[in-house]
Amino acid sequence: MGKLTTCINNKDTKTNPIWLMRQAGRYLPEFRDIRKKNQNFIDLCLNETLSSEITLQPIRRFDFDAAIIFSDILIPPYGLGQKVEFKKNFGPLLGDLELNKISSIKEDQFTNKLMAVYNSIKIVSQNKLLKDKDTIGFVGAPWTVLVYMLNKQSPKKDFNISIFEDQNQIDKIFNILDKFLKIHIKNQIDNGATIIQIFDSWAGLVDEKNINKYIYNPTSSLVKFTKSLKVPVICFPRNIKNYKNYVDNVKPDVVNIDYEVDPRKIASEINIPIQGGLDPKILLTDKEKIRNNALNYLNIFKDHTYIFNLGHGVLPETDPTNVEYLVKTVKEF
């Protein structure tokens, strides 16, 4: 059992394990060397030799308490037969969603198409660097995956709200996602993932009247399923309006908070283990600011089960020596 799972299961308040979202990737020179030679992002995610190597790079460098598999929340839509590509300096671009096509995909077709992801998890989890550490698998929450599948690009670039008018289509897509995201979760666990994180990157787009339908119910279904497999589940509903209501309804084992939220309010309102919060932009500053901000979170949650992380992913322009200093600060606390 790794330090994270021990901390979560025992509601430990004495240690603060640390890992970072997007810890494997763009800010590391060793990753950029691989990326230069491998321009197609989806192909890179589906290259088990390279994706497992990328996953282990930050463990070698920083001795984080967990590895998170190098993959993407848009791998399941790709597994369902929707075209997914990543355009340089733009982000994801998806092809048209053909409901008949994705409705006819069989379980084994989906699993075989994504087998490299599961093999990569197996390679990572069996590596001696992961002795006493956790291997984190992940999925996008149904709402966030649905947004990409229908909007065909990041809503940050352009968001077409009219795509949500066909409720019948949305119900059908949610049913398909519920089935295949559970398959994706189980396949990751079967191959060595000891924790699952559910990323709801666009939770903040949903208003109060639709929150049960789009956020609470579909995510809660995945949380129940993951717990039934005896694996802890962390949820990250970024920019959600009310974290307490989310926790009460979705019931994750751990909730990751974003950097817009007041950590003191979270500490007073929420009883389950908390993860994250630090603004990734702090890692672009100097050592004094990094230390002060890190200690602020560690002190606020000193009587609370707390996993140190960020309120979003590591930014590409981050200096690795600042990450090293952050890890040292947390481990010495």
pLDDT of residue 165: 87
pLDDT of residue 57: 98
pLDDT of residue 69: 98
Given a cut of 90, whether residue 154 has pLDDT beyond it is: yes
pLDDT of residue 12: 87
Given a cut of 80, whether residue 161 has pLDDT beyond it is: no
Considering the domain 3-332, what is its CATH architecture?
Alpha-Beta Barrel (3.20)
Average pLDDT over residues 168-179: 97
State the SS3 of the chain: CCHHHHHHHHCCCCCCCECCCCCCCCCCHHHHHHHHHCCCHHHHHCCHHHHHHHHHHHHHHHCCCEEECCCCCCHHHHHCCCCEEEECCCEEEECCCCHHHHHCCCHHHHHHHCHHHHHHHHHHHCCHHHCCCEEEEEEECHHHHHHHHHHCECCCCCCCHHHHCCHHHHHHHHHHHHHHHHHHHHHHHHCCCCEEEEEECCHHHCCHHHHHHHHHHHHHHHHHHHHHCCCCEEEEECCCCCHHHHHHHHCCCEEEECCCCCHHHHHHHCCCCEEECECHHHHHCCHHHHHHHHHHHHHHCCCCCEEECECCCCCCCCCHHHHHHHHHHHHHC
Average pLDDT over residues 262-285: 98
pLDDT of residue 67: 98
pLDDT of residue 65: 98
Given a cut of 90, whether residue 89 has pLDDT beyond it is: no
Domain boundaries, the chain: 3-332
Query: What is the residue type of 308?
Result: F
Given a cut of 90, whether residue 153 has pLDDT beyond it is: yes
Average pLDDT over residues 102-123: 98
Given a cut of 90, whether residue 310 has pLDDT beyond it is: yes
Average pLDDT over residues 136-149: 97
Given a cut of 90, whether residue 20 has pLDDT beyond it is: yes
Which pair of tokens denotes residue 159? Answer: 């968001």
The per-residue pLDDT for range 245-260, each reduced to its tens digit, is 999 999 999 999 999 9
Identify the band that residue 182 occupies on the pLDDT scale cut at 50, 70 and 90. Answer: very high
pLDDT of residue 160: 78
Average confidence score pLDDT of the chain: 96
Given a cut of 90, whether residue 1 has pLDDT beyond it is: no
The per-residue pLDDT for range 48-85, each reduced to its tens digit, is 999 999 999 999 999 999 999 999 999 999 999 999 99
Strand pairing of 91-94 and 84-87?
Answer: antiparallel
pLDDT of residue 164: 81
pLDDT of residue 218: 98
pLDDT of residue 280: 98
pLDDT of residue 200: 98
Average pLDDT over residues 236-240: 97
Of 169, 170, 246, 264, the residue nearest 255 (C-alpha): 246
Identify the band that residue 158 occupies on the pLDDT scale cut at 50, 70 and 90. Answer: confident
C-alpha span between 230 and 200 (Å, rounded):
22
pLDDT of residue 186: 98
| Contact yes or no for 56/185 (Cβ under 8 A) | no
